[in-house]
Chains A and B, each alone.
Chain A
Amino acid sequence: MKTYVGIDLGSTTTKAILIDEDRAVIGRGITNSRSNYSTAARVASEEARIDARFTLFRRALNAGGGKSGELDEFLGALERSFRLLQFLEQLGDLEETCRGQVKGERFAKVEDAVREAIVEIFKRLREEAPSLYAPGAKRKSDFFRDIAGSRYHAQAEDVARAAAIPYELLLNVYDKSIIEVENRPPSGGLSDKFRQALARVLAADSAVKTGSTDVPKTIEKTLDIDLEETYLVGTGYGRVTLPFSKEHIRSEILCHGLGAHMMYPNTRTVLDIGGQDTKGIQIDANGIVENFQMNDRCAAGCGRYLGYIADEMNMGLHELGPLAMKSNRPARINSTCTVFAGAELRDRLSLGEKREDILAGLHRSIILRAISIISRSGGVTSEFTFTGGVAKNEAAVRELKKVIKENYGDVTINIDPESIYTGALGAAEFARRAHLEQPEGRAA
């Protein structure tokens, strides 16, 4: 089948979306934007293809009359099993790389001890891996770097102590290896991995309930469907080195506008508050960008501002919103400057103002800056869509709704929990259109 891929290379994460010929989203993938953007793009798009397989499985099993509750359970088990396999494969790569690092002057005298320690660490990691992917297990992140890293650190400390070798040596080996492993495109055929995963699931619970369908046969048939990468469009924050050839690149603002249009066809104004920048975009009835404005050199209206504040208050970024929601009397924060905001914050805390009131005020001040960018781009005339990381912050959303109402009256405000994919979605649609315009357009 034909698929169209959109990839959005962000400053911290890379997102990919796969759509089919009917513009339906069949796969989403996300990974950390490592130092190597080509790899990040490849990994994200492979993740999206994996996700797409699951969509196809679901479609096929559904068509075969599977009940949705049982289906969810089965597909959940299959995904956990698949992820575990994937994790173990990368773990193997990491172990080999780590062992290769143990050489040279630093390791003189301890070379063997360190090798042994590494073997021990990875043995433990492999042993505990299934528990990481057990039903109901919570993972802070799904990125290999994050999971493997935190577990390696924990085990290495233990092993180093037992073996009486310096912990730093083991860390050093890991740090050098992870970058290499991360930047190595994943190897191995996906179909085989799916088959193995299925076998594991069936072995664990041969009585998998999926209605009358022959599960292995349906999965096998679905794996035979070729997910042809018919056209790909990449976008990202004005990097000089987006890893795509020129005709496959679209501006992130255009992608963002089109993506928002696809999610909400009636939207005319889009506000995106990300970590690095804030964008106000006006689009027409076809999702074509009419005007856009972005924050200037000043970071006051961006997610980054909240990061500073979180640091200043010694809190986690995700704790800010909930605390701010407790306020009934938001303080008036005047400093639009990120640097000054810290000083103002300390000043107010020392005067005995409540943390939640100050935080609520800070959220309001971010939103005020963002709305002034919207005002600069032409204001809010009709349906409004809010996207980006800050759209997940409930206190920011509350203030946004207030400020919009104060300034533009009653307007429909859309916020999608998957809004992080907005740019990639637009890119995928651009890919579909580009293919339609030039059907021979695979050459690149």
Chain B
Amino acid sequence: MATSLNGSKTSDIVARAQALFDDLSFTSARQWKAADPSRKVVGYLPIYVPREIIHAAGFLPLGIVGGGDQLEVIHGDAYYQSYICRIPRSTIELGVSGRIDFVDGMLFPSICDVIRNLSGMWKMMFPNVYVRYFDVPQNYRDDIGGSYYVNELAELMHDLGKLRGKPITDDELRNSIAIYNENRRLVRELYEFRAERPWQAPAAEAYLVLRAGLVLQVEEHSAMIRDYLAAVRNEERPRRDNCRVVLTGVFCEQPPLNLIKSIELAGCYVVDDDLLLVTRWLTADVPTEGKPLENLARTFLHQSESTAAKYEPDLKEKGQHLVRAVRRSRAEGVIFACPSFCDPALLERPMLQHVLKDAEIPYIAFKYAENSGQMQPIREQAGTFADSIKLWSGA
């Protein structure tokens, strides 16, 4: 039986997640806000913001990760040259077309020059919205990067308190941290479950469930993951003779859902990835005792994901996170999918490939845009990759 503890069927949960994914006007977030005049919504772009602080203000953190392959971009293109990736154009299109006109604040994380500059553009274009470029330290010492970061977090907390009209208290933040710890535990559980039995939780489904966390309140999202896990645990789904891969490079502009599906259809189970990193950027629970901002900072510095936007101080450690992900998930290869014109992902790629080569992990690479329409070359490449992995392991 494909049902969860409370009886929801897998297909229903996925359909709900799919509907949230398809809704480019963010109706659920609008409804949440409309229910209470004191509610506010703060949007954020990839890759990471401390959603706990937004939540502590009683606001809804809303993940904005571009417009996907269903949004026609006209005015967004008017702001960007052809050699710039797609996510800022579709984000602007969402803005100018009024699709996110209910958003009270926008956070632009430190990820690349394009998103960084978009923060300034947003200030110019939407002067009534609270806009912050969210800088994070590239120095990982508590006394240097840590203290800088604590102050940045304090500024954000102060600003959001002002937006609410009442300062955010440490207790409110501690409470939110605990709620997000729970959400992250569930996300990790989902990833572990998929790595264990990928045929039970197909990559596209897991993605949709994860993605719902960008628009739902965290409590509701945690319930959704719980339901989904319960439902798929209770269900026997057909197992295919796929190889197991880690998908990497997809940390900012999102690949089309079809791309994720195509990879699995072509014979590759995705057993780990760097999609929607915000949902599991912090890899351990943030302590709920003591000073909450320092706890957030310390976890950020010492227990967080690695990606191209982050400096790796130790040459020996460069790329090891990917090797570890492969080992942990018992993957047989890595698929690099990078957005076209993404400097961080594409400049990082050769370094990661060297590390994989040394570790004798096979890989393939291609580029995409969030609105890529042609899946045939991707199916072909992924299919050939799956076949060759089977040949190697059979030999």
Contact = CB atoms under 8 A, between A and B. Distances in A.
A375 B96 CA distance: 12
A418 B49 CA distance: 57
Contact of A368 (B74, B79, B373): B74
Nearest to A333: B373
Contacts of B83: 296-297
A438 B70 CA distance: 58
Interface stretch (A4-12, A200-208, A313-321, A344-352): A344-352
B75 A375 contact: yes
Interface string B47-78: 00000000000000000000001101111111
B371 interface: yes
Interface in A373-390: 373, 375-376
Q: Decide if the interface of chain A is mainly helix, strand, loop or mixed.
A: helix
A376 B82 CA distance: 13
B375 A347 contact: yes
Contacts of A334: 69, 369, 371-373
B313 interface: no
A344 B375 CA distance: 8
A296 B80 CA distance: 10
A332 B70 contact: yes
A344 to B, nearest CB: 4
B72 A344 contact: no
A340 B369 CA distance: 11
Contacts of A407: 74-75
Given A296-B82, A297-B82, A334-B371, A372 B376 contact: no
Interface in A305-356: 332-336, 340, 343-344, 346-348, 350
Contacts of A333: 373
A64 to B, nearest CB: 56
B77 A372 contact: yes
Task: Give the one of B70, B74, B377 with max A CB within 10 A.
Answer: B74
B373 A335 contact: yes
A298 interface: yes
A371 interface: yes
B6 interface: no
Given A332-B70, A335-B372, A335-B373, A298 B82 contact: yes
A313 to B, nearest CB: 16
A330 to B, nearest CB: 11
B374 A403 contact: no
A348 B373 CA distance: 9
B373 A344 contact: yes
A332 B73 CA distance: 12
A271 to B, nearest CB: 13
A401 interface: no
Contacts of B79: 376
A336 B75 CA distance: 15
A25 B345 CA distance: 58
A348 B376 CA distance: 9
B374 A340 contact: yes
Contacts of A375: 74-75, 77-78
Given A296-B82, A298-B82, A332-B70, A347 B77 contact: no
A34 interface: no
Given A298-B82, A334-B69, A347-B376, 6 more contacts: A334-B372, A335-B371, A343-B377, A348-B373, A372-B73, A373-B78
25 contacts: A296-B82, A297-B83, A298-B82, A335-B371, A335-B372, A336-B82, A340-B373, A343-B374, A343-B377, A344-B373, A346-B376, A347-B373, A347-B374, A348-B373, A350-B376, A368-B74, A368-B77, A372-B73, A372-B75, A372-B76, A372-B77, A373-B78, A375-B77, A403-B74, A407-B75
